[in-house]
Amino acid sequence: MFNIRYKQLNRHIGNAEKTFVIAEIGQNHQGDINLAKKLIKTALECGADCVKFQKSCLSEKFSKLALNRNYESPNSFGKTYGEHKAFLEFSQAQYRELQKYSDELGMFFTASAMDIKSLDFLANINVPFIKIGSGDANNLPLIERASQKDIPLVISTGMQDFATVKNIYRLVSRYHKKFALLHCISAYPTPYEDINLNVINLYKREFSDITIGYSGHELGIHITTAAVALGSKIIERHLTLDKTQKGSDHKCSLDPQEFHQLVNNIRTLESAMGQPIKIMQISELPCYQKLGKTLVYVKSLPKGHKLDFEELNVKVAEPKGIDGSKLSEVIGQMLVLDVEEDESVLSKHLLKIK
């Protein structure tokens, strides 16, 4: 378990806590800060706990050739990949503006750090935790630099094998245990047969001293709800206002209605999961009073008789007698009065109840 704090906001994240729901805005803002603010407000209205963006310094994240390559695509905002990414990248001043807006709404605000310069910037503006996206899960220098800052980390593990995930765990653990690993498949949208939700169970077993979560890119909300049932305590899903907008993330994002329903499903599921304690619930009492079966006598028996198995039956009876599950405890008990056939077995009939 670890805490995230920011000004008046304070949340515990861990196995005994409510699921922490992150609305991934990423670059679904289309490079428009007003649309970004609208997405933040929408995330709040949908019940998300946190909004997350992506922060890059393009010259640190990409090589010159990668930035200069032609990018002819329906999703492109520029002629080259560098122009496209620059169009979608907010400045540091704009990030501070978005952070201030989130503060005013009472929302946690953070971003994925996609290079060391962006990591340092996010740490300097005191985000409550740093997100390491799947694209940097093999970027061990970045992860180590982030670990050294003693800020909580949430690390997605898409595109990685288990050996790399174990390396991430060992690396961060050298510095602290204030981090979470999220199962993730980096396909947009993710085919259901590739999701392998049982990886959550693997992570819980192998990394039992940290928090485990799920970052989903599949269509719909039912798989993500199932991830919570398996024990994910952090959930991350992309949020969009329009799935038809330009950009590869919109198709696998949730619209406001879906996101709101997801949060409702998670909260309902958390309530239903309850505790690993099996008892009769108060809500079951009306059914038990009406149909719950109790012990009855098979035949009339005299005072002083010791009860045998063949002399007892289990029926719906009036008045409600000793519960049928207590049969073995009643056998061998002595009657303190005469009883009639089909009469309920009551505690006052018996000399002693074990």
How do residues 98-128 score in pLDDT, each as one tens digit?
Answer: 999 999 999 999 999 999 999 999 999 999 9
- φ, ψ at 239 (rounded to 5°): -120, 135
The CB density around residue 40, as the number of other CB atoms within 10 Å, is: 25
C-alpha Rg value of the chain to the nearest Å: 29
Contact at 8 Å (CB) between 185 and 161? no
Phi and psi torsions of 224, nearest 5°: -65, -40
Q: Which amino acid is at 192?
A: Y
Global confidence as pTM: 0.91
Query: What gap in Å lies between CA 145 and CA 125, rounded to an integer?
Result: 16
Q: What is the pLDDT of residues 37-83, one digit of tens each?
A: 999 999 999 999 999 999 999 899 999 999 999 998 888 888 998 88
Mean pLDDT of 226-241: 98
Partnered with residue 353 across adjacent β-strands are none
**Token pair 């949020």: residue:** 239
Chain-centroid distance of CA 97 in Å reads 29
Where b means 16+ CB within 10 Å and e means fewer, 260-272 reads bbbbebbeeeeee
pLDDT in tens, 279-325: 999 999 999 999 999 999 999 999 999 999 999 999 999 999 999 99
Smallest CA-to-CA distance from 292 within 277, 312, 313, 314 is with 314
Residue 8 pLDDT greater than 80, yes or no: no
Among candidates 130, 90, 97, which has minimal Cα distance to 6? 130
Other residues' Cβ atoms within 10 Å of the Cβ of residue 185: 22
